[in-house]
Amino acid sequence: MASQAQAVTSKSQKPVTKRRLRVGDPATSTVKIGHNYDTKMPNPPKPSLLASSNISTVGAALFAIEKTTGMQPLPPPRVIQTTIPDGGATSMSTASAASLIRANNQQLYRSTTIQGKARKASEKHSRNPHLVDVESLSLQQRVELTAGNTIQVFIGDTWACNIPWLLFRAMSTKAREIEDSLHLVLRLPAGLSKNALLYIFEWLRDICTRKYFKIVRRDVLEQDVAICRISRMMGMMRYSQHVFNFYWAHFNNVLPNDDEIWTLEQMSATADRLGLEDDDALAFFGCAARGIARHMKSEQFSPVQAEQRLRSHPMMQQAVVRKLRPSRRSSRRHT
């Protein structure tokens, strides 16, 4: 009898093998939020992340990325050609320009008016209970966020990369609405910069394999605006806020050069074409127009120099002219 009981017990205690979901192939994987995960990919479970001593290798292996697209190394800090209040042109390094901007407008640099308040309010009212400040986590805690399922990120209909779901859920204000959907998929509008997305992707991979660091500013306006735009659309705007603040203060205090104005015009036109709301390029464009108009009124910028620079930029010129027109409220005061 004892041997029969042991046989029954051994049959009832058969080990249960669980298969890990891999969301790398949309055609062969199905995901059901709130239920057991089903997959048609009978791959054996991988070893636990925490059981590996090589955190760098494990963290890098968790991220899927197209082999044909490699991120370029960070360029050296770009020299900014700017104009100081006395009308003379000067060249200064990025660090010097940032010091001048902070000294001239510290309060603006710390609190980024409209766009900054909108971003903070978006995070404050987020209903994502899993949202945490990843910067405050230890390396081991960040590594744990790379375990489990992944979320697929598309630009239009083109797959770009996979991001660990637990990591995305801890960092994104948009995780809740994705969690309530049928599949773990984030679909960004077609036409956005894939390089900016992959730049954020590599930053996420790096902070899960070594000491935390902030997103590094590229010091190339087009690339940095694209990074701010992508991070905002991913619900991770808090992690690119310092990049946004730098350019907001820059355009509020400095007469933009021709390349900067042209870039803002092109990226603003792209935002209008794609129907992007509260876009970063549009915010910087409006900030630059207000700054030019305000400094022309106070003669901190030479009106002649400003007019010559705007002559080849009709889009910015029209925006500045609208800012220079007296409002109805101010006209009533003078009557």
Element (H, E) at 10: helix 2-12
pLDDT digits (tens, 9 = 90+) for 144-168: 999 999 999 999 999 999 999 999 9
Which residues, in sequence order, are CB contacts of 242 under 8 Å at separation 6+? 214, 215, 217
Contacts 24+ apart (CB under 8 A), 156-160: 156/187, 156/188, 156/189, 156/190, 156/191, 157/190, 158/190, 158/194, 159/26, 160/66, 160/194, 160/197, 160/198, 160/201
E strands, 158-309, where? Answer: 158-164, 185-188
Q: What percent of the chain has pLDDT over 70?
A: 59
pLDDT at 331 over 70: no
Q: In the structure, what pLDDT confidence band is assigned to residue 10 with cuts at 50, 70 and 90?
A: very low
Q: Mean per-residue pLDDT for 110-120?
A: 46
pLDDT of amino acid 119: 52
Whether the per-residue pLDDT at 37 is higher than 50: the answer is no
The radius of gyration of the chain from alpha carbons, rounded to an integer in Å, stands at 25
Percent of the chain with pLDDT over 90: 47
Long-range interactions of 43-52: CB distance < 8 A, separation 24+: 43/19, 44/19, 45/17, 45/18, 45/19, 45/20, 46/20, 48/147, 49/143, 49/144, 49/146, 49/147, 50/140, 50/143, 50/144
291 Cβ contact list (under 8 Å, min separation 6):
251, 252, 253, 254
What amino acid occupies position 325? R
Confirm if 83 and 91 have CB atoms less than 8 A apart: no
- The shares of helix, strand and coil residues in the chain, as percent rounded to the nearest 5, are 50, 10, 40
Smallest CA-to-CA distance from 65 within 170, 195, 165, 240 is with 195
Q: Which residue has the tokens 């029209």?
A: 318
- 182 versus 192: which is more confidently predicted? 192
Q: Are 63 and 201 in contact (CB under 8 A)?
A: yes
Beta carbons of 215 and 237 less than 8 angstroms apart: no
Region 311-334 average pLDDT: 75
* Cα 177 to Cα 163: distance, rounded to the nearest angstrom: 16
Structure-derived torsion over alpha carbons of residues 47, 48, 50, 51, reported in degrees to the nearest 10: -40
Q: What is the pLDDT of residue 194?
A: 95
Indicate whether 23 pLDDT > 80.
Answer: no
Q: What is the DSSP letter of 181?
A: S
Question: Nearest CA to 21 among 130, 165, 132, 129?
Answer: 165
More confident call, 38 vs 247: 247
What is the average pLDDT across 217-222? 96
pLDDT band at 63 (very low <50, low <70, confident <90, very high): low
d(CA 127, CA 28): 32
Sheet arrangement for strand 185-188 = 64-65, 158-164, 150-155, 185-188
Q: How far apart are CA 280 and CA 147, in angstroms?
A: 32
Which amino acid is residue 151, in one-letter code? I
Task: Enumerate residues 6+ apart whose C-beta is below 8 A from 171.
Answer: 131, 132, 134, 204, 235, 236, 239
List the domain boundaries for the chain: 80-113+244-322
pLDDT at 84: 33
DSSP state of 219: S
Q: What is the pLDDT of residue 43?
A: 41
The pLDDT value given to residue 105:
46
